[in-house]
Amino acid sequence: MPLFGVLPIDKRAGISSRVVVNRIERLVRSERVGHTGTLDPMATGVLLMAIGSATKLVEFSHELSKGYKATFELGKSSDTLDATGEVTDVDISVQPTAEDIQAELGKWHGRVLQVPPNFSALVVDGRRAYKMARKGVEFDLAPREVEISHLELLEYQFPLLQLNIECGSGTYVRSIGRDIAQGLGTQAIMTALTRTRVGPFTLEDCVDARGLYNRIEVQQHLHPPQRLVDNWHTVTLNEEQVIDLRNGVPLRLDDQIGRNRFAVVDTDENLVGLMEAIQEAGMFRSLRVFHADNAANQPKKIRTKQSPES
């Protein structure tokens, strides 16, 4: 039977997200594997692997909010905004106090404009920004609106400060450190980063990829695929409606008027698809469909609990 679910990994420092994908692909062989958001090699923490048909949900999983614990060093600058780049010292005339930092954090709460780092995976004129930056090509990235829902000072002992950050998709933590430091009259680099949460997944849900050795162990740690769209409303369909959905027949669901899209499950709580509204009020069509062989093999819950090791 095909695998269909989400494997949350606690990525260790020093490896790329692609390395983790490659390891899981070797374990599950013919199954498709995709991650739902890259972590830089220096970063650790929650990295979600979509397995099998759950890869159809990856583009929607990017809407999930994320949590981070990040450490920054004031009085330093680098081309990458972190410790992996070319680091230089920056003079600080007055050391910021904890009160100064708290006041500055308040300016970066809510929807704010943020300029992404040049060393990022964004596309500029058809080329990755980080590849252009490595070659010394000069370019500017436009600021864009991001959502920072929580910004908390966890620890401060000059020149190091540690923040707890809750933010929406597309937010660059390195840029948060840069912007806060500039508001304090200096610069900063990120020296450590842990992603503590992606949507409903936390570090407690994660396993170390090094502790998985075969397909069965991967299957034992899978979570239900609908957790990748945990922020969506969920509707339960009866057996006849499920059959129509899988046959491409639009459904009338008058009780969902006003919703643009939602996830649908059968009476056993198996994910069977995503639906979106069409022009006629109360009518909805399939956006993604998962067939019976997928539904029969998606996990209802985790059978094995394992604490993160990194």
User: pLDDT at residue 305 above 70?
Assistant: no
> Does 180 share its domain with 78?
yes
Confidence of residue 306 (pLDDT cuts 50, 70, 90): very low
Assign 51 to helix, strand or coil: strand
Average pLDDT, the chain: 92
> Does 44 share its domain with 124?
no
> Does 92 share its domain with 188?
yes
Domain that holds residue 261: 232-298
CA 148 centroid distance within chain: 14
Domain boundary among 181, 210, 227: 227
With respect to residue 303, please indicate whether it lies within any of the assigned structural domains: no
* Model pLDDT for residues 200-231, shown as the tens digit of each residue: 999 999 999 999 999 999 999 999 999 999 99
With respect to residue 308, please indicate whether it lies within any of the assigned structural domains: no
Q: Cβ–Cβ contacts within 10 Å for residue 128, how many?
A: 14
> Does 189 share its domain with 210?
no
Amino acid at 214: N
With respect to residue 39, please indicate whether it lies within any of the assigned structural domains: yes
46-50-53 Cα angle (round to 5)? 165
> Does 54 share its domain with 76?
no
Q: Are 164 and 66 in contact (CB under 8 A)?
A: no
User: pLDDT at residue 124 above 90?
Assistant: no
> Does 70 share its domain with 194?
yes
> Does 84 share its domain with 172?
yes
- Amino acid 291: pLDDT: 87
Catalytic-role residue among 10, 40, 205, 266:
40
Say how many residues make up the chain: 310
Closest CA to 221 of 230, 233, 212, 232: 212
- Amino acid 218: pLDDT: 96
- Amino acid 309: pLDDT: 33
* Model pLDDT for residues 254-297, shown as the tens digit of each residue: 999 999 999 999 999 999 999 999 988 899 999 999 987 776 66
Confidence of residue 301 (pLDDT cuts 50, 70, 90): low
**Of all residues in the chain, what percent carry a pLDDT higher than 70?**
95
Pairwise CA distance, residues 55 & 3, whole Å: 11
> Does 47 share its domain with 107?
no
Pairwise CA distance, residues 65 & 167, whole Å: 6
Q: How many domains does the chain divide into?
A: 3
Query: What are the helix (H) ranges across the chain?
Result: 17-28, 58-61, 98-105, 129-134, 173-183, 215-220, 239-246, 292-295
> Does 72 share its domain with 191?
yes
With respect to residue 307, please indicate whether it lies within any of the assigned structural domains: no
Q: Which residues of 29-52 are buried (b: 16+ CB within 10 A; e: fewer)?
A: eebbbbbbbebbbbbbbbbbbbbb
User: pLDDT at residue 142 above 80?
Assistant: yes
254 is catalytic: no
Confidence of residue 135 (pLDDT cuts 50, 70, 90): confident
> Does 218 share its domain with 247?
no
* Model pLDDT for residues 163-185, shown as the tens digit of each residue: 999 999 899 999 999 999 999 99
DSSP E strand boundaries for 91-159: 110-114, 123-124, 127-128, 144-157
Pairwise CA distance, residues 2 & 295, whole Å: 10
Residue found under tokens 């923490």:
45
Q: Are 264 and 245 in contact (CB under 8 A)?
A: yes
- What would the mean pLDDT of 73-97 be, rounded to a whole number? 94
With respect to residue 47, please indicate whether it lies within any of the assigned structural domains: yes
With respect to residue 88, please indicate whether it lies within any of the assigned structural domains: yes
- What would the mean pLDDT of 38-66 be, rounded to a whole number? 95
> Does 186 share its domain with 207?
no
Pairwise CA distance, residues 209 & 213, whole Å: 9
DSSP state of 255: G
Q: Where residue 205 sits, what CATH number does that domain have?
A: 3.30.2350.10
Domain boundary among 198, 217, 246: 198
Pairwise CA distance, residues 141 & 156, whole Å: 31
With respect to residue 306, please indicate whether it lies within any of the assigned structural domains: no
User: pLDDT at residue 310 above 70?
Assistant: no
Q: Where residue 244 sits, what CATH number does that domain have?
A: 2.30.130.10
Pairwise CA distance, residues 20 & 25, whole Å: 9
> Does 119 share its domain with 221?
no
